Amino acid sequence: MTKTGIGASVKRKEDQRFITGNGQYTDDVSRPGHVHAYFLRSPHAHAVIRRLDIAAAKGAPGVLGVFTGDDLAADKIGGLICGWMIHSKDGSAMKAGAHPALAQGKVRYVGDHVAVVIAETLAEARDGAEKIIVDYEVLPAVIDTAGAQAAKTQLHDVAPRNTVFEWAIGDKAATEAAFGAAHHVTKIDLVNNRLVPNAMEPRAAIGEYDPGQGAYTLWTTSQNPHVARLVLSAFIGIAPENKLRVIAPDVGGGFGSKIFIYAEETVAVWASKKVGRPVKWVSDRTEAFLSDAHGRDHVTHAELAMDAKGKILGLRVKTIANLGAYLSTFSSSVPTYLYATLLSGQYDIPAIYAEVDAVYTNTAPVDAYRGAGRPEATFVVERIIETAARQMGLDPADLRKRNFVRKFPHQTPVIMMYDAGDYRASLDKAMEIADVKGFGKRKREAARRGRLRGLGYSTYIEACGIAPSQAVGSLGAGVGLWESAEVRVNPTGSVEVLTGSHAHGQGHETTFAQLVSERLGVPMESINIVHGDTDKVQFGMGTYGSRSGAVGMSAIVKALDKVEAKAKKVAAHLLEASEADIDFKDGKFTVKGTDKSVAFADVALNAYVAHKFPTSEIEPGLKEGAFYDPTNFTFPAGCHICEVEIDPETGVTEIANYTAVDDFGVLINPMIVEGQVHGGIAQGIGQALTEGAVYDASGQLLTASYMDYCMPRADNLPSFKLGFTETRCPSNPLGIKGCGEAGAIAAPAAVMNAMTDALGTEAVTMPATPQAVWKVAQSQQKLAAAE
């Protein structure tokens, strides 16, 4: 390992600009003469718009334009799309209700977009919006996930019983047979609480139209600017792709919420031509709560069939997934192929059958949020196995060990082919770091202080490196999920790498450069990673699903292979040797068995000068591109152990210890990987203990600010204990599995298994706030007193 190569904890290149205040986020971009957009949003969860009068607003001071759904329709601007087709059990296509960027006759959630006002200043746009008269006929709202299908009110004409699809996976008959043969059946009912992703940078967009070129530019807070351009061009119809440039500059966190193509950027870029000025929109935090795609929101009943020795025979699951008022960009894939395909967990389960009904409700659209489906699957599997162990009087770690998959590759009953792993190794290591042996003593000591101490495991698995294009195509994806890279070596030997991945906190400018530095022997400071601009990078699929290492870097490897091959040809001429005799190592081309060598930078210069080789055989220049399509998902897995201590008098929970041992395959930069794990765990603990989006029965979002939605603060969390095990991923050249989501996937189950252990009942739901915990603790104490 070199000092900056693969495996080195290199300090991040991008930090200099962020710690000095020189980052360039979308709201920091200022265009000459830009004006401001303000969206008038529905105050009702469900209503018909009887009258929409914008005349007074149009005449308000500073207002340049007021637009409604009619204006978009007149310009043939299409609605927002969902790019993943799901078919129901009966073979019918999912029921996608129309999703106009600005309402057409009806609003379906609080925060739905009614009209946009564009004015010289934001204050004038807001003042103008107050002059819009809307006559709403308020309809009953459908809010409850489990009750949506039985509701009398229907959101979309195309979707009877508010049902998007009724989907199933697995072998129903085999699973019924497994339950028929079971010695013990564990049943569990779970709610996976609705979350709001809450990247600290709110969404923002600036649209600009250049009449000379007849072309638009959109700066936007996107995790995948090329996909945004494709959708805005091919489906929404803003402009052809060659007349639309999308730039995602520094982006302040995404966690999934910035994958999607939303109404606001669509309208901002379209309106820039209408008003003849660049149009800027920046979400405030309450708008973000109302209109960013939310995450999770499942109601699940699950049953686990066991034989007498604790071997799992089968699993059956019924989930109702709330997708909100409209189908967001990838929403349909989350509770299906990103969820139920992981229900086998780390276990050898012979038969699995899962049904998922997706429903519409009068709430914000729900889509991928950090982990996307996999946290929900892990929560089901890890909660039910822990419960089964308790019911059968078995040690939860032992029960897991008895059922771990040990031979690879392993075909699960739910599509996935696990390629490599050692689940026992990560469990053992986590138990050692967490000092599970000493837990009994700590529990007794806590009891003497009147505290309830509990310990919970989560041996999770996830599917990352999304995804083999043909495979996802056969499952309904509207796009391929490869990645692209281009390596441009400059004549002086410095290197630019153009990637279709996008960094919004992950540190790609450092990790990607580490790979290039190691391969080409070029110093870190001579390598620039370029991303986030459709005029620079030709195409790319962006960053989500922990794919940028496994897929994005693999594309760079392919391009580097081509650069090396070409450079060898040039070097052979410079060294007057046969190409087959050239070795490349540590930035030097050497003739085998001699001391004749030439440095990489000299080869680069000669490639451009082109004096010393026949250009009829070798083209001048040194620039290569590649597209990499993965051959399988990757399967990061590991074991998280949480230890909590509860004060039954106040309901306050302290995370006393949190241990994570993860197998991410090869680590490029352990410092950055650890940071990803920390952040994921914090979001998972947030889901378990503090966070929950709450709508009241009329559809008002009660948790629409940081006063009401409890983001984890520093004093809610401990320092984490981390460890790693490594089994190389066999399906990509670097052996990487991906690390971005593991913490958020593993943590909720680990925390809730610890909570239920401490409280002595399974009846604890997320978020386990002090009030909720206090109630459970009190009723447990009453029960104990009665016995």
Partner 1 sequence: MAQTPKIAVAMTVNGQDVSARLEARTLLVQYLREGLRLTGTHVGCDTSQCGACVVHVDGKAVKSCTILASQCEGAQVMTIEGLAHGDKLHPMQEAFREHHGLQCGFCTPGMIMTAVDIAQRLGTPDEHTIREELEGNICRCTGYHNIVKAIDAGCQEMAKGQHRQAAE
Chain residues in the site for partner 1 (CB under 8 A):
11-12, 14-25, 27-28, 30, 60-61, 123, 127, 198-202, 250-253, 255, 284-286, 504-507, 671-672, 674-675, 678-683, 705-707, 711-715, 717, 719-720, 743
Residues 6+ apart with CB under 8 A from 638: 426, 430, 459, 460, 660, 661, 662, 663, 725, 742, 746
Distance CA 415, CA 341 (A): 6
Which is nearer to partner 1, 668 or 672 (by Cβ)?
672
**Minimum separation from the CB atom of position 787 to partner 1 (A):** 38
Which is nearer to partner 1, 461 or 660 (by Cβ)?
660
Which is nearer to partner 1, 56 or 81 (by Cβ)?
56
Distance CA 263, CA 626 (A): 33
Which is nearer to partner 1, 25 or 608 (by Cβ)?
25
**Minimum separation from the CB atom of position 677 to partner 1 (A):** 8
Distance CA 493, CA 495 (A): 6
Q: What is the largest CA-CA distance in the chain?
A: 94
**Minimum separation from the CB atom of position 460 to partner 1 (A):** 17
Q: Which residue matches tokens 């597209």? A: 627
**Minimum separation from the CB atom of position 626 to partner 1 (A):** 28
Which is nearer to partner 1, 75 or 706 (by Cβ)?
706
- Interior/surface letters 751-767, b for 16+ CB within 10 angstroms, e for the rest: bbbbbbbbbeebebbbb
Task: Note the helical H segments in 575-631.
Answer: 600-609
Which residue type, as a one-letter code, is found at position 547? R
Which is nearer to partner 1, 270 or 658 (by Cβ)?
658
Which is nearer to partner 1, 8 or 155 (by Cβ)?
8
Which is nearer to partner 1, 227 or 282 (by Cβ)?
282
Residues 6+ apart with CB under 8 A from 576: none
**Minimum separation from the CB atom of position 125 to partner 1 (A):** 13
Which residue type, as a one-letter code, is found at position 639? C
Distance CA 656, CA 522 (A): 45
Bridge partners (DSSP) of residue 599 are 588
In 3D, which of 747, 744, 507, 568 has the Cα closest to residue 644?
Answer: 747
Which is nearer to partner 1, 134 or 199 (by Cβ)?
199
**Minimum separation from the CB atom of position 505 to partner 1 (A):** 3
Distance CA 298, CA 16 (A): 41
Angle at 37 between CA 36 and CA 42, to 5 degrees: 150
**Minimum separation from the CB atom of position 439 to partner 1 (A):** 23
**Minimum separation from the CB atom of position 403 to partner 1 (A):** 30
**Minimum separation from the CB atom of position 124 to partner 1 (A):** 9
**Minimum separation from the CB atom of position 637 to partner 1 (A):** 20
Asked if residues 57 and 117 have their Cβ atoms less than 8 Å apart, the reply is yes
Which is nearer to partner 1, 474 or 719 (by Cβ)?
719
Which is nearer to partner 1, 97 or 278 (by Cβ)?
278
Angle at 720 between CA 715 and CA 721, to 5 degrees: 155
In 3D, which of 91, 49, 541 has the Cα closest to residue 329?
Answer: 541
**Minimum separation from the CB atom of position 288 to partner 1 (A):** 9
**Minimum separation from the CB atom of position 660 to partner 1 (A):** 11
Which is nearer to partner 1, 591 or 749 (by Cβ)?
749
Which is nearer to partner 1, 674 or 757 (by Cβ)?
674
**Minimum separation from the CB atom of position 507 to partner 1 (A):** 7
Distance CA 601, CA 268 (A): 45
| Order of strands across the sheet that contains 47-53 | 106-107, 47-53, 133-138
Distance CA 646, CA 132 (A): 51
**Minimum separation from the CB atom of position 762 to partner 1 (A):** 27
Distance CA 141, CA 134 (A): 19
Residues 6+ apart with CB under 8 A from 684: 375, 743, 744, 745, 746, 747, 748, 750, 751
Segments of 55-112 assigned E as strands: 63-68, 106-107
Which is nearer to partner 1, 69 or 680 (by Cβ)?
680
Distance CA 163, CA 327 (A): 12
- In the structure encoding, which two tokens stand for residue 777, read together? 């603790």
